[in-house]
Amino acid sequence: MDTELLIEKFRKPVLIFAGLVLVYALAGFVLLPKFMQSKLPEFIESETGRKASIEHIEFNPFSLELSLQGFVMQEQDLQTFVSFNELFTNLQVWSSLWNLALVLDELRLSGPYVRLEMLKDDRYNFSDLLSEEEQEEETEESSDIFPVIIHKIKLELGEFATINSVSTEPVKKVISNINFNLDNFSTLPDTDADLGFSLALNGNGRLVWHGGFGVNPLFSKGEVTIEGLQFADVWKLFLQDSVQYKWLEGSQSIAFSYELSYPEETLIFNLTKGRLVTKDLKFTSKEETKEFLKIPYLLVDGISFDLIKQTLDIEKIESTDAGFDFWYEPSGQLNYQTFFAGQETEIETEETNIEKQESEQTQEPQPWNINILDMAVKTASVNYSDTRKEQAVILDIAALDIGLKNYQLTLDKLLQITANQGHLNLRELALSSNDSVELIKVPTLDVSEVDFNLQDRNVNIKSITS
């Protein structure tokens, strides 16, 4: 009897609780995903004017796991602008309450795709999404950052396509296999996260970034490695309409360690263990009619950089088998002057000159110091031709070695340059005319123990032999 009374007493609350759980489960598993799947595309289109679609949405109301699958946002011409296979997140309620912060166990984006296209008049395919009216709302910036903790952030198998159809040579490049991992991310003070990032570049190239990252205060440190960066791709994407030369071939490898922070609105950046390796780089005119510079191998090693101290230290710069070709253009300029001419700048007005002088008088900038322990150009070849007159002059140097040690340059009000232990070794110099008449021939020329000081206007040469 007591059991029946007990059952009767709790039956109604249990049924109510079970009904509430059932309604909650029905709303979470079925109704909310259906509502989001129908309303999210409508909201995106109303805000952006672009069509969007979502294949499927899953939500677990008990574990608070949310999964958006098969998202596509189109451009005005109905091409895919942004898409992803899945966006997954998992909210940790009890941990959020305990830490007084928004805590996500995981935030994962799978198979994202972004298409960026440059249009005419310096516009892009996303320009219509930006507000044309400048909003000048003055709001007080809070120094507090909203507390967020995300145990694992992951982006996997991303793809980025860039299209430039307005350049002289239309470009379409795709960067694939973009992967990003960030563990233990937090906006709480004095916390750092473990960062990993990688992507595949065209031509079997690769970028890898490992390190630590924090936002309160902002800082990052780690190592970056880039392998197989193709100069031809860089030229097509960024340089083709702003320079007078063309990169046909060549690859670049880059590696360095760094530390970056931003305490009290002061940018601190240090770079160490820097290494640049250039291979098979070739410069030609834009018409590809003639090669004027080739760099089969260039090494810049032991790079250290300190932004606060304004110092750049390099242990070694070495070039092997470089080739230099000089000639005069129809304009009368040497080809290197034409190919490497800078962009024209606006003429400074008297007012801007006065402002510049006042700024220089009130500020005493710290000088930059550049130190290079060892520089060497090995077995370079030089060809020079001057056809401006009826009898052309041709100069050929079969092999040229140049070296300097302890090179120091200080960029101050007065330029200071010093170097020592310099040498120059020249083999097979021939000066001739266009009718094959040999005017001068020097089999060898050695200049050794050269010391140089620009400030003292002093050059010492120990010996010159031929």
- In terms of Cβ atoms closer than 10 Å to its own Cβ (0-12, 13-18, 19+), residue 48 is middle
Q: Residue 310 is part of which domain span?
A: 278-341+365-466
Residue 426 within a domain: yes
Do the Cβ atoms of 147 and 187 come closer than 8 Å?
A: yes
d(CA 396, CA 387): 15
Q: Specify if 351 maps to a domain.
A: no
Residues 6+ apart with CB under 8 A from 241: 167, 168
Residue 170: what pLDDT? Answer: 78
Considering the domain boundaries, does residue 381 fall inside one? yes
Per the structure, the count of domains in the chain is: 1
In a domain, 402, yes or no: yes
Q: What is the pLDDT at residue 344?
A: 53
Phi, psi of 187 (to 5 degrees): -95, 5
pLDDT in tens, 243-301: 989 998 899 999 999 999 998 889 999 999 999 999 999 999 888 778 999 999 999 99
User: What would the pLDDT profile of 323-338 be if each residue is shown by its tens digit?
Assistant: 999 998 878 889 998 8
Span 35-80, pLDDT tens digits = 999 999 999 999 988 999 999 999 999 999 999 999 999 988 889 9
Q: Is residue 308 part of a domain?
A: yes
Indicate whether 215 belongs to any domain: no
Report if residue 27 sits inside a domain.
Answer: no
Q: What is the pLDDT of residue 346?
A: 47
Q: Is residue 139 part of a domain?
A: no
**Closest residue by Cα to residue 66 from 43, 44, 40, 46:** 40
Q: What is the pTM of this model?
A: 0.82
Q: Which residues of the chain have pLDDT under 50?
A: 1, 134-141, 345-349
Q: How many CB atoms lie within 10 A of CB 433?
A: 12
